[in-house]
């Protein structure tokens, strides 16, 4: 991989599932482990769970290359996680302009799914009630930056089809 690859898209689009499948298929890929203010045993991606106070301390110490808030949580990308070459990063669409400035050559894969699919997947997680799920799906994050090359993947059908599309997209952006 020659450049960092940001994987973006709405909650429930299947980013974590596709990243895991890519890591299994491509041992040359290296994931970036995010810091998130939620319990480490809450499922989903492999992340470092910290308290809001610990996150604030890490931020004040300058330990994050990028950090942001979404859905009542704080997310951070540790500076030291970028050693050892390019990373595959689960990233927020809202901070893509900041990420592009901090990570020259950043590539972007946008994973999406139909709203009803997103709602089903979010409900299956069991982390939020119906009103929170509806708010999450309705959240406007704006358009993707026009100056970044973006490959779009629709993960509304089967995981096999989306995985094939995702691996093909990775092949294009990491060649």
15 assigned ligand-binding residue: yes
Q: What is the pLDDT of residue 143?
A: 64
14 assigned ligand-binding residue: yes
49 assigned ligand-binding residue: no
Residue 85: partners with Cβ closer than 8 Å, 6 or more residues away:
1, 30
Identify whether the C-beta of residue 32 lies closer than 8 Å to the C-beta of residue 88.
yes
Instruction: Quick: pLDDT tens for 69-110.
Output: 987 899 999 999 988 888 999 998 889 999 999 998 899 999
31 assigned ligand-binding residue: no
Q: What is the pLDDT of residue 1?
A: 60
Identify whether the C-beta of residue 31 lies closer than 8 Å to the C-beta of residue 87.
yes
72 assigned ligand-binding residue: no
10 assigned ligand-binding residue: yes
| 16 CB neighbour count, 10 Å cutoff | 17
Residue 89: partners with Cβ closer than 8 Å, 6 or more residues away:
4, 5, 6, 7, 31, 32, 34, 77, 99
Least confident of 36-45, 77-86, 160-169: 36-45
**Could you give phi then psi for residue 73, rounded to 5 degrees?**
-120, 160
Annotated domain spans of the chain: 1-30+85-174, 33-83
**Residue scoring higher pLDDT (175 or 88):** 88
105 assigned ligand-binding residue: no
The yes-or-no verdict on residue 10 having pLDDT over 90 is no
H/E element, 108: strand 107-112
Give the separation between CA 152 and CA 112, rounded to whole angstroms: 8
Q: Which span out of 22-26, 44-48, 134-138 was modeled with the highest average pLDDT?
A: 22-26
Q: What is the pLDDT of residue 43?
A: 67
CA 64 → CA 71, 136, 164, distances in Å?
Answer: 19, 25, 33
Q: What is the CATH number of domain 33-83?
A: 3.30.63.10
The yes-or-no verdict on residue 34 having pLDDT over 80 is yes
Taking all residues of the chain, what is their mean pLDDT, rounded to a whole number?
88
The residue behind tokens 């996150």 is 55
Instruction: Quick: pLDDT tens for 111-145.
Output: 988 888 888 888 888 778 788 888 777 765 666 66
Q: What is the pLDDT of residue 74?
A: 95
Give the separation between CA 175 and CA 12, rounded to whole angstroms: 28
- In CATH terms, are 1-30+85-174 and 33-83 the same topology? no
Give the separation between CA 151 and CA 60, rounded to whole angstroms: 35
Q: At what angle do helices 159-174 and 15-25 cross, to 10 degrees?
A: 60
Fold of 1-30+85-174: Rossmann fold (3.40.50)
What strands, in cross-sheet order, belong to the sheet with 88-90?
88-90, 5-8, 107-112, 150-154
């Amino acid at each position: 991989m020659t450049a960092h690859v940001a994987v973006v898209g709405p909650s429930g689009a299947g980013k974590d599932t596709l990243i895991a499948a890519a890591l299994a298929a491509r041992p040359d890929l290296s994931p970036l482990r995010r810091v998130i203010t939620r319990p480490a045993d809450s499922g989903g991606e492999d992340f470092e769970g910290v308290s809001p106070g610990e996150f604030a301390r890490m931020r004040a110490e300058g330990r994050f290359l990028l950090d942001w808030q979404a859905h009542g949580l704080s997310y951070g990308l540790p500076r030291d996680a970028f050693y050892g070459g390019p990373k595959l990063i689960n990233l927020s669409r809202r901070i893509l302009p900041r990420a592009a400035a901090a990570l020259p050559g950043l590539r972007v894969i946008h994973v999406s799914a139909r709203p009803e699919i997103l709602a089903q997947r979010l409900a299956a997680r069991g982390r939020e009630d119906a009103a929170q799920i509806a708010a999450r799906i309705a959240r406007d994050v704006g358009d993707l930056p026009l100056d970044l090359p973006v490959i779009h993947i629709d993960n509304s059908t089967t995981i096999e089809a989306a995985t094939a599309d995702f691996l093909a997209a990775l092949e294009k952006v990491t060649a």
